[in-house]
Structure 1
Amino acid sequence: MNKKVAPLIGVASAPIAVGLPVYNGEPYLATSLASLRAQRDVDFELWIADNCSTDGTEELCREAAKQDDRIRYFRRERNVGSSENHNRLIHETKTRYFTWAASDDAYEPDRLRKMLDALTDRPDAAMSFTSAREIDATGATVGHWDNPCRTEHYDPVVRLRDLIGREHENYHCYGLYRRDILTRTHLLPPVKNNDRILIAELSLYGRFAEVREALLLHRQHDRRLTQSVSQREWYRTQRSDGKRFVLPNVEEAGWYLKAIAGAPLNRQQRVLALLALRPWMRDNAVPMARNVARAAVDGARMAASAALPRK
Structure 2
Amino acid sequence: MNGIDIMLPHYGDISYLKTAVRSIIAQDDTDWHLTVIDDSVTDNGLPDWFDALRDDRIDYQRNEANLGINANFQKCLDLAERDFLVVMGSDDAMLPNYVSTIRRTLQRYPDADVVQAGVEVIDSTGQVVRPLTDRVKRGIYAPDTTTPKLMGGEDLAISLLRGNWTYFPSLCWRRDALKDLGFRQGLSVVLDLALMLDLLQRGGQLAVVPDVCFQYRRHNASVSSSLASLGGRFTEERDFFVDVAAHLEGIGWHRAAKAARLHLSSRLHALLMLPGAVTSRQTASAKVLVRHAFGTTKPVRK
Q: TM-score, normalised by structure 1?
A: 0.72
Alignment equivalent of 1:34, drawn from 22, 39, 45: 22
1:137 is paired with a residue of what secondary structure? coil
What is the CA–CA distance in structure 2 between the aligned matches of 1:247 and 1:220, rounded to whole Å? 20
Distance 1:19 1:257, change over 3 A: farther
In structure 2, the CA distance between the partners of 1:55 and 1:216, relative to structure 1 (3 Å rule), is farther
Match of 1:180 among 147, 152, 176: 176
Contact 1:189–1:255 (8 Å) recurs in 2: no
Q: For structure 1, which runs of at least 5 residues remain unmatched after alignment?
A: 1-12, 236-245, 262-266, 296-311
Radius of gyration: which is bigger?
A: 1
Q: How does 1:1-311 map to 2 (within 5 A)?
A: 14-54=2-42, 56=44, 58-59=46-47, 62-63=50-51, 66-143=53-130, 148-149=142-143, 152=149, 156-165=153-162, 167-172=163-168, 174-191=170-187, 192-204=189-201, 205-230=203-228, 249-254=238-243, 270-271=251-252, 273-283=253-263, 286=295, 288-289=297-298, 291-292=300-301
| Residue pair 2:116, 2:172 contacting (<8 A) in 1 also | yes
SS in 1 for 2:113: strand
Q: Deviations over 1:41-82 (max 9, x none)?
A: 241110000013426363465345x42110111111111111
How many angstroms apart in 1 are the aligned matches of 2:208 and 2:12?
A: 32
SS in 1 for 2:213: strand
* CA shift in 2, pair 1:154/1:31, >3 Å: closer
Cα deviation code 1:111-156 (max 9, x no counterpart):
1111122112212211112111111111111127758137945651
Matched-pair identity in %: 22
CA distance in structure 2 between the aligned counterparts of 1:50 and 1:248, rounded to whole angstroms: 27
What displacement does 1:182 show? 1.9
| Distance in 2, Cα, partners of 1:274 & 1:105 | 36
State the alpha-carbon separation in 2 of the partners of residues 290 and 255 from structure 1: 11
Q: Which secondary structure does the structure 2 equivalent of 1:132 belong to?
A: strand
CA shift at 1:175, angstroms? 1.4
The Cα shift of 1:275 comes to: 3.6
Q: Which runs of 4+ in 1 moved over 6 A?
A: none
Q: What letter is aligned with 2:183? A: L
Root-mean-square deviation (CA, aligned residues, Å) is 3.1
Q: How many residues align?
A: 260
- 1:230 Cα deviation after fit: 3.9
Q: Could you tell me how far 1:110 is from its partner in structure 2?
A: 1.1
Letter in 2 for 1:159: L
Alpha carbons 1:26, 1:55 under 8 Å: kept: no
